A and B are shown apart, each in its own frame.
Chain A
Amino acid sequence: MAPVVSIQKLTKTYGNGFEALKGVDLDIEQGEILALLGPNGAGKTTLISIVCGLVNPSGGQVLVGGHDVVREFRKTRELIGLVPQELTTDMFETVWNTVSFSRGLHGKKPNPALIEKILKDLSLWSKKDNTLRELSGGMKRRVLIAKALAHEPKILFLDEPTAGVDVNLRRDMWQVVEALRATGVTIILTTHYIEEAEEIADRVGVINGGKLLLVEDKTALMKKLGRKQLRLELSEPMKELPASLGAYNLSLSEDGTALIHEYKSEEEQGGIAALLAALAAANIHFRDLSTRQSSLEDIFVALVEEKA
C-alpha cells in the first residue's frame, strides 16, 4: 500500500538563514505509530509544521494521502489533525465552543454527538461550559487534543504531547491514541521522552541537525543496536583479570568487586555458558549476577553523539 505520508528531499531554510531541514526523506505507513525523536532544535517541529501547512517548504515535496501539501492543501489538511506543542488557547472561549469551532474550520457539518464523545473520552465533559482560562495546564492539553480530533482526522500529529503532563493524563492520552489506532488512524508523535517512544511506537525515527539519521522498526532497532550486559558480583574482589579469561569480552569494575561482560543479544550463542564454565575452572566465585538491556535512550544518545 502507498504510504499515507510521503516526504521527499524536504528542505527548509528560514528567513534568517537557519537551515532547519537538510533534505529529509520519510515514508509513513497507514495506521502506524511513528515516534520522531530528536534533541531540541533538531527540526522535528519544522517537519511537522510543513506537513500540516504552517510553514512553507523551501524545497522537496510532501504528499499526504497522495496529494501535495502545498498545491492540494484542502485535501491534505482535511486528513490531518494537529496537537501543537505550545498550550495555545482562546482564553475566553468555552471548551464546547472551541472544539466545535475546530470542526467547522475543517469544513465539517456540526456533530454534537461526536463532540460529546470526544469530550467524554478525554474526561472533559464536566468542563464543557468552562472558559479555557479557568482550566489547568493538563486540561488545556486535553482540549487541544479534542480540537485536533473534532474533524475526525485520518492522520494525527502530536507535537511533544506529554511535555508537562501528569500520569493520569498521559495514561488517558495513550488510551485515546490506542483507540484511534484501532480505527486505522496514523499517529506521528515527537517527543524527547524516549521511554514514551519505546512504550508506544511501532517505528522510531531519529532527527538531529535537520537530518533524519534513521527510521526503523522499534523492536528491530532495539535488537540491532541494543547491547546486553552481564554483571557478576564477585565473592572476593580481584585486582586484575586472570589471563585465562582474556578470550572473553570482559572487564573489571573499578573497585574490583564485579566482572562485566558486554555482548550483543543476537550474536550470543552459548558464550555465556562457556564464560561461566571458564570462571569455574579458574576458581572464581560470584555471589550474584544480573543482566541489563540497553534502552532506546542509550541507543538514541549514542546515535546523536556519534553523528553530531
Chain B
Amino acid sequence: MVSTAVVDTVTGPPLQELWKTRHDKTRYQWSSLGLLTPTFALLIFLFLVPMGFAIYLGLTNLTLIGPTAVHSSFTGTANLIRLKGDTTFWSSLWVTGIFIVGSIVGVVVLGYTLASLLMRATPWMRVVVGGIVVISWMMPAVTAGMTWYASTTGNGTFGTLFGHPNANLLDAQPLLVVTLASIWSMTGFSMLVMGAALRNIPSEAIEAAIVENASTWQRFRMIVLPLLRPTMTAIVLLTGLLALANFALIYIMTQGGPGNSTNILPLYSYQQAFTFNNLAYGALIGNVMVLIATVFGVFYVRITTRRI
C-alpha cells in the first residue's frame, strides 16, 4: 500500500505543470460529469422526456386499441375543447380538491396533536400509540386500502365500534371514508417530523412564557406555531402531493365509485386511458395533474431551500 503510493507520487505530473495551472479561474473536473451522468440520464429519459412527450400525446387522437393505436395524428386543441366540456373531469377536479384539502387538514392537525401529546406521555404509551400510528403509515397502500375497505363495509370494525354493525359506511359516505383512510395512512410521517421539530424548540422560550403567565393557547400561538411554521408548510405541501397521487388506496377501496364520488384525477386519467382506451385523453388529464403537482413542487422547493 505504502510503496504504491510512493511510486504514484514519483510518476505523477511534473511539478512545473502543477504550477502552470491557473487558480483565478474556476476549474471543473471531468470526472464530475461521469459521476452525474447515471442520475441525470435516468431523470432525463424517464422524467423529462415522458413529461414533454405527454404534452404532445395529450393533443393527439392516440387510443389503446383500434386503428388510431398505431397511426395517431396531431389533433390540436380537440382534446382541450373536450376537456372543457367534460363534466366528469370538472367533478373529478372538485373531488380531488376536497380529498387533498381534507387529507392536509387531518394530517397536520392529527400529526401535531399526537406529537405534542406523546411528548408528555409515559414511555410505555409513547411506544404503543406511536408504534400504531407509524405502522399505519408504513403499511403499503394496497394493504391499507384493503383493510380500510373491510373495516368500513357492512359488519366492519367501525360500524361495530359505533354500534351499527350492519351500516355500510363506505357506501354511505364514500368520499369522507377514503379521505379518512388517506389521513390515517399519512399521519405517522407528519407525527414524526412534527415531533422532531417540537423537540428542537428551546425549552427556555416555553419556560419564559410560563413565568410571564401566558396561557396554553398564547404559548401555542406566540411561540410554538411561529417556530413550527416551516415544518408545517413542508408537511402541507408533501401531504398535498402524496394525496394527489394516491391512486392505489382509492382504486382498491372504491375504484372511483359509487358514481364518480371518489374519482380523483389519477383514477379518472387511468380510467380514460386504460378502461375507455382513450390513451391521449388520459395523458391530457395526467398533464393537469402534473400542472397541479408543479405548483406544489415549486412551493416545496422554496420552503426547503429557505431553511438551508
Co-complex (A, B): no
